[in-house]
Amino acid sequence: MVTAPEQLDVTRREQRDEALHHLVKDSVERLSTQLSDGHTWEFLSLLRFYSRFWTYSVRNCLLIKLQCPDATRCAGRTLWNKQGYTIRKGQKAIWIWAPITRRETDPETGELLTLIAGFVPAPVFDFSQLKECDEKPLPMIVPTQPDDMAAEFRRLVNKIQAHGVDVTLQPLSTTHLGRSRPGTIVVSNRLDSRNQIFVMLHELTHQLWHHDGADDPDRDLRQVEFEAESVAYVVARAMGLEHPGARDYLLHWRATPELLHRSLVTIQHMVRRILILLEVTYDVPHTTEALLD
């Protein structure tokens, strides 16, 4: 028999879960409306925020941004305590969804698998909410990059080519900055090194997602270009590069509400895939698994 306190806990959990669902739904609908009306500021703000939280799901990123717009690093109380930090008295938790996992043996291989059975609301706290945030600062999340990124461009090219994709610099028409075909990326040699990186990241998204058969064949050009530029923007920000041209490009493709709903999961998936492929990592890990600790 369920006791009264347990019933109360379940009710509170269900109420909080419903509230989180409404927060995400309302936020996505607002972004969709703004994009369809030709306004990109809030969506770009989300992409900038996501560049700091790319190991999280987009919906958890939205929840953190809505509750703590200036957040930089988030984790559960236990993990912060293990790192030698304590939550300041009176601080309000940021609520996100944490996965419920179960262990199961694969009947074919015998391997022990961890499966996600669902999600529950879970409290986390931002670094700014810690007592020791001033005396024990964390390493910088995003490095400061020089104007000349030629060396970094070559490093990224080597990583991409090691993945089996050829990258070349060639003269292109004034209306084309880059192009992608299965197994090949071409970037205009007229661009400076920073813009060569932006274009290469855009074309790499096409290469890894839109050309490899994993993509939905019914997606139109507008959705494909919107996804590629969004991914390039987040990856560039995670590398410490501002991508000023992204706003006009995203505005040109005018994402519809339906397009945004379909594209958010793709953007999340490709940002993670490309940052891992290019070995762009944070100094302090802050994965969804770490949040549960």
* Residue 120: strand pairing partners: 98
Q: What is the pLDDT, as a whole number, of residue 254?
A: 60
Q: Which string of DSSP letters, residue by residue, matches 199-257?
A: HHHHHHHIIIIISSS-S-TT--HHHHHHHHHHHHHHHHHHTT---TTHHHHHHHH---H
The residue whose two tokens read 């070559």 is 154
pLDDT at 12: 82
Each domain of the chain, given as residue ranges in start order, spans 150-277
Residues of the chain with pLDDT under 50: 1-8, 213, 215, 282-293
Q: Can you give the pLDDT at residue 285?
A: 40
244 vs 194: CA distance, rounded Å: 11
pTM of the predicted structure, to 2 decimals: 0.80
* H or E segment to which residue 104 belongs: strand 94-105
Residues ≥6 apart with Cβ < 8 Å to 221: none
> HSE-up of 208 (CA within 13 Å, CB side)?
26
Strands 184-188 and 178-181, by their bridges, are antiparallel
**Predicted pLDDT of residue 6:** 43
pLDDT at 288: 40
Q: Which of 77, 81, 79, 118 is nearest to 97 (CA)?
A: 118
